[in-house]
Amino acid sequence: MLEQISQLFQTAFTHVLSAFINKLVPMVGVGESVESVEVVELKTIYYAVALLRCSASFSVSPSLWSLPMFVVKVDPK
């Protein structure tokens, strides 16, 4: 049973990794070409900035939430 679950996760990870490599990473090398654009649409830049803001807020919010647990009280003496 554990081997079947392990095999399932391994095949799923392999499929996701191959999709990432084949679709998102541009193929560069001998005989391959990379398309480049001269102008990036403003909408694309806005989406990228919004995505970065969302990911930053999701990664910072747990840190801010747990900050009071790490406060050190100083003795006034």
What is the structure's pLDDT at 28? 55
pLDDT tens for 31-40 read 556 666 677 7
Q: Report whether 34 contacts 28 (CB < 8 A).
A: yes
What's the number of domains the chain is made of? 1
Does some domain include residue 23?
A: no
Residue 58 inside a domain? The answer is: yes
- The range of the structural domain enclosing residue 61 comes to 39-65
Q: Is residue 44 part of a domain?
A: yes
Classify residue 51: in a domain, yes or no. Answer: yes
pTM over 0.85: no
Question: pLDDT tens digits, residue range 44-72?
Answer: 889 989 999 988 888 888 888 888 888 88
Residue 54 and residue 48: Cα distance in Å, rounded? 10
**In the predicted model, is pLDDT for residue 22 greater than 80?**
no
